[in-house]
Structure 1
């Protein structure tokens, strides 16, 4: 572990968060010789991957889910097509050994406030334990899922058993074998923990509001020799990721669904299904995410595939309904290995919260509105996150007008390029709101944005500029583009975290740029090439504001 940072020095750059994006930023700024540190709330590297509930693993397949730096991938061998959180933890320890990351990280250091000082064009950053840093630039790498959400369940504090949100699972793990376990939520973490816990618990009770349209993972162990041979293609693979809409190396099928014959459709779907992972959504017909009729045909194929694995007709209807509750892909499709087989077990109960909602949490378990008390030893809250915006709004970030980012976004999000905000000079955020975040391969999006931020700051340093901020006009234009592309896509038609609908009181609107990673890359590179069009700069004029 690193020694605690004293917080006194006037840094060039302070990075918040030591996951993929934070480490990538540190690496790039170090290469330029800038003074840079990371503040990380957890006790080790990894960001979201420092946490590990049972079954937690990546849903982007090898080798796409890693940093593209040759000095890292050349010597690292993955064990599984979809690595578990434990393998990701090992990866981050390997990254530290190769790059000596931890020497510039202050762990257990949670940022609680950041206020911009116009007199010196620097941020005054305060941590929970009172450290102060004064960086010229503040780069927030907190990701899109760093603020967990737990609904206001009546009586939750009375529960006498073990209770954890999946985002805060203890490092020592929790014994589930032969226990009565309840899981609230069937999103990504819910699916993973259900299929992991199902075979070994005494009884599993799943509380579901909306079925997850999961996809087959097709998990497998990797051959180390073959992996080494494939590395010759990695440079092309990583470059290709920036050229596709999804940030993966594979792309949408180049035909509308109804222009294909029934035979072409079914053969293409069967091929995607056999490949597993996100091939079924990313490489489907090019209009299925925009055309409701095309989407319904894709859903029908999915439904029939899933129902063959479920024995009970009632379970079939609850897990793969005849009529879809929303378009396929309008909520995040999770990857599964044995999810549906769990519901064939006699010791598993599925509670449909649309029929009988949770009334309260008791000392013994959960009481539903039909009067049944489901007794539990362990309660798992797989209830998600205040995604995309929550990681920033939970920090008291205030710009030149004294308005906090939470106040600015209270009635709708305004950013420029999904990386900057008007009235918040020298502040950048990566892999968050108004970027391709939720619909892209994470590391691809992170590196595209990270490179842009690094080059922007390099431009400023080389030209004697102390502050950068987008104009309100540019911000309004970017918001308009996000809204216009978002409302045309079926992905924003469901009540999901994609649009903020999972958080009571949050403005419901598209929160991701849905025009594609490749188009996003083209736009932001063009902005930089045109001299950072839509931005204003402060030159070195003020006393004490030297770079």
Structure 2
């Protein structure tokens, strides 16, 4: 495509999920032009790809949506924790109201974004050779856009079907099939509890037990939602900016040393009964800091789970006496009947921390004790190159011509978890060193998106052509994130995507801001209030 054919916009957005759509709608209100470039064929971001059996959100529906009353007034979900079908339907509704798709280019995988310092513009190229140019680049790639399959010997020899949960076929029938699932993270939990009743046999290959919590899923009527909209929705959206995690419940700051065992037990019971993340992000904040109190929470969790598992051997595999890692240092999954599944006669649990996978064979999977598990279908619930993968998979080059993948090879560095030195006018949402998965997604997405919109408005109104973090500010912020991470018990998880060490060769570091949404918002807003302190601003010569 020649330069004359290059499409020009004020803002180029990568990704059409919650963040990308929020950016677009806000940019339109500024009277600026924008184009979303989306790899997939429709809106909804991660929910376009993650449509495996049982896939659903882990945030309750009142806060897992846009906070704009023009959107929520006329929309109702059917379940408290919506599944992927309802999220896709929600995005169709948003598109119907605002004609989002007129500013989206689908089937447009971005392969490169290069900054031109002489004209202060980004040149963005898609896989099919189209070229776009814009003053601003907004990366809305999310934290889970690059799926991961570990290297296994012999995988090409398997004669059955292979599926990763993030690339699920449109229609699939498991009935009567012998299925193996590798991985027991959040996707594994959801798939396993969904397909166990219908498969001929299910073999689960577990490395680390999942310290899952009860979802307490339920149907929710239109009438109940209408009442909430009238009385509480505006309160909900204000409150989610005030809590550590962007949920409606908050951590309890009370020192546990000032409580009695009885008080703590009753508090644990209360949060357990409420379901969802109440037991995790609605409990005592010291659980993340002090091992003896974390042990107490784990012991409570273990007792609750073991009550649901009659077999002692399975109890030890799924809820071992010795915690596999401190409770809560990995994002817990929410389950509905996960632990009961393993008592079914057609389900086998293989502990691959003791008998690792040796190879994939023609007929199935072999562990190092010589056992071959015969399978018709192999499901990889092996997760993602989380937090950074969606950004580093693009050839992004800034002022010095060095790719961001190379810059981050020895660890992520950012300023305010939203921008990076030497990459002017480039922002990301729900990405590295932001609160991201310590929070309800839309809570931190809207917070960051609105900050970026205000920044773009400031730039446009003040005759500024570019804004870029200073190396000094970036170093100070990144060190702050590292220090916050070192205070807690996070390092107790030996393989955690919070730390990046679920991917071989990736540097171990705290990839997200662990100080909570209010503290994060204050850092961002303080910078803006001081004229975007920590950034270099370049005045336009025009």
TM-score bin, normalised by smaller chain: over 0.9
1:204-251 CA distances to partner (integer Å, 9 max, x unpaired)?
A: 000000000000000000021111011131111101111111111111
In structure 2, the residue matched to 1:330 is 329
In structure 2, the residue matched to 1:3 is none
**Secondary structure of residue in 2 paired with 1:134:** strand
Q: 1:209 aligns with which of 207, 210, 224?
A: 207
Determine the C-alpha separation between the residues in 2 that align with 1:157 and 1:174: 21
CA-CA distance at 1:9 after TM superposition: 2.6
In structure 2, the residue matched to 1:528 is 528
Matches within 5 A, 1:48-447: 48-51=46-49, 52-170=51-169, 172-232=170-230, 233-447=232-446
Q: 1:31 aligns with which of 29, 32, 38?
A: 29
Contact preservation (8 Å) 1:389, 1:432: yes
TM-score by length of 1: 0.97
Answering whether residue 498 of structure 2 is matched by residue 498 of structure 1, we say: yes
Contact preservation (8 Å) 1:215, 1:335: yes
Contact preservation (8 Å) 1:181, 1:376: yes
Contact preservation (8 Å) 2:11, 2:134: yes
Determine the C-alpha separation between the residues in 1 that align with 2:245 and 2:101: 32
Determine the C-alpha separation between the residues in 1 that align with 2:32 and 2:526: 25
Determine the C-alpha separation between the residues in 2 that align with 1:189 and 1:439: 18
**Secondary structure of residue in 1 paired with 2:267:** helix
**Secondary structure of residue in 2 paired with 1:167:** helix
Q: 1:21 aligns with which of 12, 15, 19?
A: 19
**Secondary structure of residue in 1 paired with 2:378:** strand
Determine the C-alpha separation between the residues in 2 that align with 1:185 and 1:353: 10
In structure 2, the residue matched to 1:485 is 484
The change in CA–CA distance for 1:492 and 1:66 in structure 2 (over 3 A counts) is farther
1:451-505 CA distances to partner (integer Å, 9 max, x unpaired)?
A: 0100101100011111110000000011011000011111343120000010011
The change in CA–CA distance for 1:305 and 1:50 in structure 2 (over 3 A counts) is same
CA-CA distance at 1:257 after TM superposition: 2.5
**Secondary structure of residue in 2 paired with 1:466:** strand
1:66-114 CA distances to partner (integer Å, 9 max, x unpaired)?
A: 1101111000011001000011010010010011100100000000000
The change in CA–CA distance for 1:7 and 1:245 in structure 2 (over 3 A counts) is farther
Contact preservation (8 Å) 2:501, 2:507: yes
Contact preservation (8 Å) 1:430, 1:446: yes
Contact preservation (8 Å) 1:19, 1:45: yes
CA-CA distance at 1:524 after TM superposition: 0.4
Comparing 101-110 with 245-254, which one deviates more in the overlay? 245-254
Determine the C-alpha separation between the residues in 2 that align with 1:126 and 1:285: 48
Determine the C-alpha separation between the residues in 1 that align with 2:354 and 2:239: 47
In structure 2, the residue matched to 1:463 is 462
**Secondary structure of residue in 1 paired with 2:287:** coil
In structure 1, the residue matched to 2:43 is 45
Determine the C-alpha separation between the residues in 2 that align with 1:7 and 1:55: 44
Matches within 5 A, 1:534-545: 534-541=534-541
Comparing 254-263 with 9-18, which one deviates more in the overlay? 254-263
CA-CA distance at 1:285 after TM superposition: 1.5
Structure 1: segments with no counterpart, 5+ residues: 1-5
Determine the C-alpha separation between the residues in 1 that align with 2:70 and 2:339: 41
CA-CA distance at 1:268 after TM superposition: 1.1
Large movers: runs of 4+ above 3 Å = none
**Secondary structure of residue in 2 paired with 1:135:** strand
The change in CA–CA distance for 1:7 and 1:375 in structure 2 (over 3 A counts) is farther
TM-score by length of 2: 0.98
Determine the C-alpha separation between the residues in 1 that align with 2:140 and 2:177: 38
CA-CA distance at 1:7 after TM superposition: 6.9
Determine the C-alpha separation between the residues in 2 that align with 1:182 and 1:7: 50
Contact preservation (8 Å) 2:414, 2:421: yes
1:26-56 CA distances to partner (integer Å, 9 max, x unpaired)?
A: 0000011101010000000000011200000
**Secondary structure of residue in 1 paired with 2:9:** coil
Determine the C-alpha separation between the residues in 2 that align with 1:307 and 1:338: 13
Determine the C-alpha separation between the residues in 2 that align with 1:362 and 1:59: 35
Determine the C-alpha separation between the residues in 2 that align with 1:19 and 1:50: 9
Determine the C-alpha separation between the residues in 2 that align with 1:53 and 1:441: 21
**Secondary structure of residue in 2 paired with 1:30:** helix
Determine the C-alpha separation between the residues in 2 that align with 1:392 and 1:254: 35
Determine the C-alpha separation between the residues in 2 that align with 1:305 and 1:491: 23
Contact preservation (8 Å) 1:258, 1:294: no
Contact preservation (8 Å) 1:492, 1:498: no
1:402-426 CA distances to partner (integer Å, 9 max, x unpaired)?
A: 1100000000111000110000011
Contact preservation (8 Å) 2:253, 2:286: no
1:354-383 CA distances to partner (integer Å, 9 max, x unpaired)?
A: 111111111111011111111111110000
The change in CA–CA distance for 1:426 and 1:7 in structure 2 (over 3 A counts) is farther
